[in-house]
Structure 1
Amino acid sequence: MLFHVRMDVNIPRDLPQAEAGEIIAREKAYSQELQRSGKWRHIWRIAGEYANYSIFDVKDNEELHAILTGLPLFKFMTIKVTPLLRHPSSIRDDDT
């Protein structure tokens, strides 16, 4: 299943810089591992915001939930999930 996910990050200003840096490093490693596996198909930064739009390709809602709640920055995020499905006018074979 494909999902469009918007993630807005709001790290508290009073979080010690070293702690924030460590969490961000773990987040990067985790997200890149998911990208290499094909589960996190695309990620785009939103200009001027600490946010991204991403496309996930996972088995079901439960797998997506596990991935998102496993993000080291999860507790600092507002997340909006939109399920996607193939459009009948699509000419691409790889967008399922």
Structure 2
Amino acid sequence: MLFHVRMDVHLPPDLDEAVRADLIAREKAYSQRLQRAGCWPHLWRIAGEYANYSVFDVGSIDELHDLLAGLPLFPYLTVKVTALATHPSKVVAG
């Protein structure tokens, strides 16, 4: 199942720099592990914002929720999830 996910990051401005650096390093490692596993095939930064658009390829909405909840930045995220379906006008290879 494919899901389009927008994530907006809202780190507190007074967050300790060491804590911030640790969170970001753990977030990068976790997200890259999911990308390498194939369940996070697309990740784009939104220009001018501390936000991203992503596409997840997972077996269920529950699996997606578990992956998102595992993000170290999850407590600081606003997340919007949209389920995706194949469009009937899509050109299919073949």
Gaps of 5+ in 2: none
In percent, how many aligned pairs have the same letter? 63
Q: Residue 75 of structure 1 corresponds to which residue in structure 2? A: 75
Q: Residue 47 of structure 2 corresponds to which residue in structure 1? A: 47
Aligned-partner Cα distance in 1 for 2:92–2:18:
45
Amino acid across the alignment from 1:49:
E
- In the TM superposition, residue 86 of structure 1 has moved relative to its aligned partner by 0.7
TM-score (norm 1): 0.94
Secondary structure at the counterpart of residue 81 of structure 2: strand
Aligned-partner Cα distance in 1 for 2:41–2:55:
5
Q: Residue 66 of structure 1 corresponds to which residue in structure 2? A: 66
Q: Residue 11 of structure 2 corresponds to which residue in structure 1? A: 11
**Backbone CA RMSD of aligned residues:** 0.8
Q: Residue 91 of structure 2 corresponds to which residue in structure 1? A: 91
Q: Residue 25 of structure 1 corresponds to which residue in structure 2? A: 25
Gaps of 5+ in 1: none
- In the TM superposition, residue 90 of structure 1 has moved relative to its aligned partner by 1.0
1:21-61 deviation digits (Å, cap 9, x = unpaired) = 00100000000000001100100000000000000000000
Secondary structure at the counterpart of residue 92 of structure 1: coil
Aligned-partner Cα distance in 2 for 1:83–1:74:
20
Secondary structure at the counterpart of residue 27 of structure 1: helix
Runs of 4+ in 1 over 2 A off after TM superposition: none
TM-score (norm 2): 0.96
Secondary structure at the counterpart of residue 44 of structure 1: strand
